[in-house]
Structure 1
Amino acid sequence: MKETPVRFDALDSWRGIAALLVALFHFQAAGFFYSIPFVRNGNLAVPFFFVLSGFVITHAYRSSLDGPQDGVRFMIRRFGRLYPLHIVTLAILVLLELAKLYMSSRGYQGSEAPFAGTNNLPSLVANIFLLQAVIPFPELTWNAASWSISTEFYTYLIFVAVFLGCGAYRQWGAVVMFVASGLLLVWLDYIETTLNLASGLGMVQCVFGFFAGNLTYDIYLRLRDKPYLKGTGPELVATAMMVLLFWFKPRYVAADIIAFGVVILLFSFERGQVSRLLRVRPLLFLGMLSYSIYLVHFIVFTVLFAMVRIAQGRLGIELIRFDGIHELMDFGPAGLMDLLALAYLATIIVFATITYHLVEVPGRQFFNRLSSGFSARRQTSPSIG
């Protein structure tokens, strides 16, 4: 079973842009950037990732998931795509927590005790097994952004179960999953509003978003030879939809996910001038680094914020203030804080480039070889009975 090398370059660039929006969303500094709706609603990029994942995974595997062996190989490959960078970034955060423990023994007191609160030991075990958003927790833990990695991995299992279990009716199985998870998500949005991303809501969002992407790909196959959805006009409509979604962020995420499906469909044909702009090398580079940007950014901000907090304690002046909701770095004009935000993004891209080449690529290649070896062993092993 092989993944097809075909890529949707414009969609890849959108993924890189969305990853930077998530990074800015988590950057708490009192600059002009902080108050821009695109930034304040940057976490909307995560449902976009879910839909895009369902689209591209279906594109890569829909014709090659024919039996249990293919399912095992698929899960090995997806594990190799997600886990190596996840465990490395988690290990870095554990080292930072050990550094905090050492500093607390020397008299430094942070806002939270070492290995407590969101970084306690039970949640560490859950993170190791990618269960941090499957086992209910009161809030996001450790590398906060990794909650979506947890839900995505177990959504892959659901995808395999649906495709292998439904056989020739697999697309109907996908429709059932889409409708069932969508109804549950609407119920959670409207009625049961007490769940958060770490206590079940995130998993439902991921399943609904993934199967929305799956069905979007099915629609793409049916419409790819039709001329009326191709060209600059539909892409401008899709771009306007992205702008409006991130500017206004509709209240109900189920509606956002369906809208993202439309955006992805309109850009999947890649026949307009907007797609041509999105295929420029810097944006393709961001798309390539998007997963590393997504998991590395929280560590960069954690270190930066800790340094500012230490400086505040040493200098005895206020560098961090509470705005009623969040703690914000505020030690200069808004323009200076925005320059700090740009430096933060540049630092993330540098470290993301390093982790991409040293962790992502070797990890993916290792597990791809492992999946191929599993197939070879199964094919050469003697039959029983």
Structure 2
Amino acid sequence: MNVNKLSPDLLKTRQHFEILDGLRGIAALMVVVFHFMEIVYTDYSKNFVGHGFLAVDFFFCLSGFVIGYAYDNRIGKMGVMEFFKSRLIRLHPLVISGSVLGLLALLFDPFGGQPELYGTGKLLLLFLASVLLIPWPVMGDRAFNQFGLNAPAWSLFWEYVANIVYAFILYRISRRYLLILALLAAALLSVVAYKAGNLMGGWGKGNFWDGGARIFYSFLAGLLVFRFNAIIKNRLGFAGLSVLLVLALIMPYFQWNWLAELLVVLCYFPLLIALGAGATLSAGFKKLCVFSGKISYPLYMTHYAAMWMFGNYYASHKPGTAQLAMIISGGTILLVGFSYLVMVAYDIPVRKYLTARRGK
């Protein structure tokens, strides 16, 4: 093995764009609220955060930008396998924890998780599929999610696919060919949005390939923002950009809804990435952005076990509006706190251990 491939300079993460980290946390928080609210309001037009699912497209676009920034100039030296190790160490511990939490929620949900619908063998296979990120939409009582134990893992599946394609193809090709691919991806995404009437797919049985179309465009768009150095200097700051991001996620539904979602993904989110990379962070928001960025992925990957329990509680107890407001606001705060504990007690130590083992 070439020792240089494991040199500290090659493995060290580059400096973060702290405002983009902060925006990632805002998006994750909006996803949590969206998941609470979609249980209450199955009609998304009545949901005040009815477009919260578009946060996933923002994640995909941000991922393309960050991967390009972090690895374009060193993946050739570190090698494809070391790149994959880096990504696995960064992402997979929380994939496992989300699967464990999902299994525990199914088995011990006080409001009725219905584990009796599944035998021990099938539960084991569901858990293994979740841990190994193998889509298996067989849980009818959970709307045939690709990953019934941890629904948000569908986007991690496509994130892994994008990372593999990046390592073998995308980092090697010029901006011209990337742009051509992005235009093709935009056309494909437009067809998906028109036919489905929205850009919500990817999570379940029957819309699996919609997820591929969503990451195909957004990852390339983020990568192009980096490759073309399309960073827009501005004074919007973290607060201003957070408002712009939230506005996209709370926009109302109307007749041309599919087109509005499409334009947000095609144009608005890449613009936000360009603005976020070029904005100046005020000292007062620095700690918030750092915390928001660190907590975003743990929150995203650990919150859904609570959603299944909340769904069963809502179905059995029919709480009123005031009670729901308390549950959702309090539950969101508790989930942020819980994800912080998971990060500190599990994710960071595991990643440090794996990184140290890798260094040896």
Normalising by structure 1, report the TM-score. 0.74
In structure 2, C-alpha distance between the alignment counterparts of 1:17 and 1:58, rounded to whole Å: 22
Q: Which has the larger radius of gyration?
A: 1
Query: What is the CA distance between 1:134 and its match in structure 2?
Result: 11
* Equivalent residue, structure 1, for 2:6: none
What is the match of residue 381 of structure 1?
none
Of the candidates 49, 54, 58, which is equivalent to residue 39 of structure 1?
A: 49
Pairing partner for 1:345 from 324, 332, 337: 332
Which residue of structure 2 lines up, in the alignment, with residue 251 of structure 1?
258
Report the residue type matching 1:276 in the other structure.
S
| Cα 1:303/1:233, change in 2 over 3 Å | closer
Q: Which residue of 1 aligns with 2:154?
A: 147
2:70 maps to 1:60: yes
2:278 matched to 1:291? no
The answer to whether the 8 A contact 2:19-2:238 is kept is: no
Q: Which residue number in structure 2 is paired with residue 327 of structure 1?
A: none
1:164-213 deviation line (CA, Å, top 9, x unaligned): 5x3xx443443343233222222222247799414111122112111111
User: Is the Cα–Cα contact under 8 Å of residues 237 and 279 in structure 2 kept in the other structure?
Assistant: no
Confirm or deny that 1:7 pairs with 2:13.
no
Per the TM alignment, residue 129 of structure 1 is displaced from its structure 2 partner at its CA by 2.0
Deviations 1:269-301 (A, max 9, x none): 122xxx438824344322210111111211123
Matched residue type, 1:46: V
Question: What does 1:12-91 correspond to in 2, within 5 Å?
Answer: 12-28=21-37, 38-66=48-76, 69-91=78-100
Gaps of 5+ in 1: 313-318, 321-329, 374-385
Q: CA RMSD in A?
A: 3.6
The alignment partner of 1:63 has SS state of coil
List per-residue Cα deviations over 1:96-121 (Å, max 9, x = no partner).
33346xx9xxxx976685338xx966
- 2:105 matched residue in structure 1: 96
Letter in 2 for 1:115: Y
Q: Once the 2 structures are TM-superposed, how far is the Cα of residue 231 of structure 1 from its aligned partner?
A: 2.3
DSSP-derived class of the 2:258 partner: coil
How does 1:123-202 map onto structure 2 within 5 Å?
123-132=126-135, 139-140=145-146, 141-163=148-170, 166=172, 169-191=173-195, 196-197=201-202, 198=204, 199-202=208-211
Name the TM-score, length of structure 2 as normaliser.
0.78
CA contact (8 A) 1:134 1:150 kept: no
Cα distance 1:337–1:268, how it changes in 2: closer, same or farther (>3 A)? same
Give the aligned residue type for 2:54. Answer: L
SS class of match (1:5): coil
State the number of aligned residues. Answer: 331
Query: Deviation at 1:86?
Result: 1.0
Shift in CA distance, 183/35, structure 1 to aligned 2, threshold 3 Å: closer
Amino acid at match of 2:194: Y
Between 241-250 and 150-159, report the one with greater CA deviation: 241-250
Alignment identity in percent?
A: 22
Contact 1:230 1:266 in 2 (8 A): yes
1:36-94 Cα distance to aligned partner (Å, 9 max, x none): 75522211111011111111111111100115x52111111111111111112212222
Distance in 1 of aligned mates of 2:213 and 2:269 = 16
3-state DSSP of counterpart to 2:169 = helix
